[in-house]
Amino acid sequence: MTTRALSFVAAAGLLFQTGAAAQEKAQDAQARQRERAAQADEPPQWVKPPIEAMHVQHRTFQSKYANGPVSYLIYLPAGYETSGKRYPVMYWLHGRGGGQQGIPGFAGRLTKAIESGEAPAMIVVFVNGLPTGGYRDSADGKQPVESVTIKELIPHIDATYRTIATREGRLVEGFSMGGSGAAKWGFKFADLFGSIGVFAGAMHGRGSPAPIPPGLNLSPQDDPWALAEQNADKVRGKSVIRITVGGKDGLVKSNTAFHELLDKLKIEHQFAVIEGVAHTPWPLYDGLGGKCWVFYHEAFRMKHGR
């Protein structure tokens, strides 16, 4: 076979691979659209089953917006029942799918860190954000995740537990869908949250290098990029922020771009790429080493002026 013929065959093979990849991507997008459509027809799972985890309890509250009970998981540090102290609160936002299987491991890590003094004692509320809730109120009104959490869950937590019920006592943190939710709520509700933790955030928005998934219509009030620009003055010098993403994560470019946006806005923050880590939360925490827990100390020390 001649060199020209070989080149033609190679080029044809490359075109075939490129076309196959594009077709696979389109099929994946269509599958996601079908999944969203199917879930839209199902009633939201506002009450999840209990799980077994160290110092974690399963609780519910009555929601006007969800028209019924909504569950959450809450981590109360050792000694909470007898200390009489008030504690800062981390609101932790899960990723797409809403899985709870990683919570026991996180609770165990946090307990050890608190016991050793690496982490400050804190309450952690694991929010029910629904499998594809996006931490916003859906346009059809069926999944009002933002209203349920911001308007009902947070007041319920402050009324039920000994919290530091100020922005200085609240941190919002999350992974993937929850990471973008943390960025959005941290900038949108800067009067509620004094710290923001983004782990491999699915940072969709009009400033992101990643395309917005088909069917995802983000208003400026649900776009973390727009909210960062709109509310920069409300967090600049007033909030502790970190962004962490894995070097092998497909979201590394959009998380890096969001870090660059905050730099452009002169918003102080921490940014780390954990090499060798793909799209999974706990290796990111482990990859930060001692810095993982230092962040919480910095946030809460700044808040209390210590």
The parent domain of residue 266 ranges over 45-304
* Same domain, residue pair 141 and 10: no
Please report the pLDDT score of residue 99 as a whole number: 82
Lookup: tokens for 219: 């208003």
* Same domain, residue pair 21 and 167: no
- As separate numbers, helices (DSSP H) first and strands (DSSP E) second, the chain gives 11, 8
Lookup: tokens for 61: 């509250």
Please report the pLDDT score of residue 20 as a whole number: 42
Instruction: Provide block-wise average pLDDT over 10 residues at a time, the chain (306 residues).
Output: 45 42 46 48 89 97 98 98 97 93 94 95 97 94 97 98 95 97 98 97 90 80 96 96 98 98 98 97 94 93 44
* Same domain, residue pair 294 and 190: yes
* Same domain, residue pair 30 and 167: no
The pTM score is 0.86
How far is residue 71's CA from residue 253's CA, in Å, rounded to a whole number?
Answer: 34
Domain count, the chain: 2
Lookup: tokens for 239: 């909030």
CB 162 within 8 A of CB 86: yes
CATH of the domain at 197: 3.40.50.1820
* Same domain, residue pair 16 and 72: no
* Same domain, residue pair 27 and 62: no
Lookup: tokens for 174: 């999350």
* Same domain, residue pair 81 and 199: yes
How far is residue 76's CA from residue 72's CA, in Å, rounded to a whole number?
Answer: 13
* Same domain, residue pair 151 and 266: yes
